[in-house]
Amino acid sequence: MSPYVPGKPISELEREYGISGIIKLASNENPYGPSPRALEAMRGALDSVWLYPDGSGHELKQALAAHLRVPAACLTLGNGSNELLLMLAETFLTAQSSAVCSQYGFAIYPLVTRATGARCIEAPANAPGGAMPYGHDLAAMAGAIAADTRVVFIANPNNPTGTWVERAQLRSFISAAPAHTLIVLDEAYLEFAALSGCGDGLSWLSVQPNLVVVRTFSKAYGLAGVRVAYAVSHPEVAEALNRYRPAFNVSNVAQAGATAALADQAHVADAAHRIVAERERMAAALRAMGMSCAPSAANFLMVEVGPGAARVYEQLLRGGVIVRPLGGYGLAQHLRVSVGLPAQNDRLLALLAQLLRAP
């Protein structure tokens, strides 16, 4: 097994190159940060950090249940969505079973599958020249489901491509899946996707007991640093997951911040609208430079730079801009660029234009 390699931290680049004024556009974080209410609630929670958090996450679950209009018994809290994905694999996979994911899907899916000893079946992705290049090919994924497949991972929209699956197609896929196969729908970028015509799957839970929807507070809610996410599923699935959930896995600071963030939907919506507008502006500017961008319903763009992508990545680092190389995904000619603040995006675009003009 190879470990998951996160985006390069600012502090690491400072140590390596001795430069300052670095901007990070590598990990799809929300540059506008969390709601002021969330910050205030987290500061207040510091007064009780000497106590263990509420292991059941009661207050956060009740807030989520009201916000999502689902029973609290359907909820499982996680220390970020990565932990939930690992819990799903540990709960439902064994060395005698398999899981299906897409060729260019989130790197965590094969990692958590292999950690259980299960077989990972990678379905071919869409062709590069299609409407959703390198995105999920649901027909190929359906064909990859074997008799021993217990989990199918679908990210909608997908990371690192930004592409998505139309709601009707996704609904048909889930309906046709074997009843003994759990469909894990990863909606980490839901708040941005909703502005791009990419629907969510929460309304299908009442008729699809084998569906699990995973969401996070790390992206649109701006709480990546405190690690909190949740899964919504049939109560029996949630009960099984909660047996594997580590005790006190979500800190009291994270629970307080997430609960307060849920109550400030105006902040989330404002940030999402700003980011989506910037994403489209950046895509147009990059295309004007001669680069192609895959369609994106997330807060990032997958940019085809060409054979020199690794060199461009290194030159961007030396210019104080961190983006994400995608060689580890088998997309060596691409870079993934998170949408930052307008001034940060302008700096990236100017540096790229300068690099492209260089001999």
Q: pLDDT digits over 80-101, tens only?
A: 999 999 999 999 999 999 999 9
User: Which pLDDT does position 260 carry in this prediction?
Assistant: 98
Tell me the fold of 10-28+266-357.
Aspartate Aminotransferase, domain 1 (3.90.1150)
The CATH class given to the 36-264 domain equals alpha beta
Q: Are strands 324-325 and 334-338 parallel, antiparallel or unpaired?
A: antiparallel
- Residue 80: both structure tokens together: 């970020």
Confidence of residue 147 (pLDDT cuts 50, 70, 90): very high
Whole-angstrom distance between the N-terminal and C-terminal Cα of the chain?
A: 40
C-alpha closest to that of 85 among 62, 108, 60, 57: 108
Alpha helices in the chain (DSSP H): 10-17, 36-45, 58-68, 81-92, 108-115, 138-144, 167-176, 190-193, 235-244, 252-262, 265-288, 309-318, 342-357
* CA pair distance 359, 350, nearest whole angstrom: 16
- Order the strands of the 149-155 sheet from edge to edge: 75-78, 229-233, 211-216, 182-186, 149-155, 98-102, 119-123
Q: What is the pLDDT of residue 161?
A: 98
Chain centroid offset of residue 318 CA: 27
Token digits of residue 233: 């599923």
Residue 196: the pLDDT is: 84
Q: What is the pLDDT of residues 35-54, one digit of tens each?
A: 999 999 999 999 999 999 99
- Give pTM, 2 decimals: 0.95
Instruction: Report the range of poorest mean pLDDT among 187-201, 212-226, 327-341.
Output: 187-201
Other C-beta atoms within 10 Å of 175: how many?
12
Amino acid 358: pLDDT: 72
252 neighbors 47 (Cβ within 8 angstroms): no
Phi, psi of 72 (to 5 degrees): -60, -25
Residue 156: alpha-carbon gap to chain centroid:
9
pLDDT at 356: 82
Cβ atoms < 10 Å from Cβ of 350: 13
pLDDT in tens, 318-358: 999 999 999 999 999 999 999 999 999 999 999 999 998 77
The CA distance from 78 to 303, in Å, is 31
- Three-state DSSP class for 178? coil
Return the structure tokens found at 55: 């292991």
* Inter-CA distances, 288 with 95, 332, 347, 356, Å: 49, 22, 16, 12
Other Cβ atoms within 10 Å of 188 Cβ, number: 26
Pairing state of beta strands 292-293 and 300-304? antiparallel
Q: Tokens 């999502």 map to which residue?
A: 68
Residue 9 has pLDDT above 80, yes or no: yes
pLDDT at 359: 65
**Domain-by-domain residue ranges, the chain?**
10-28+266-357, 36-264
Band the pLDDT of 163: cuts 50, 70, 90.
very high
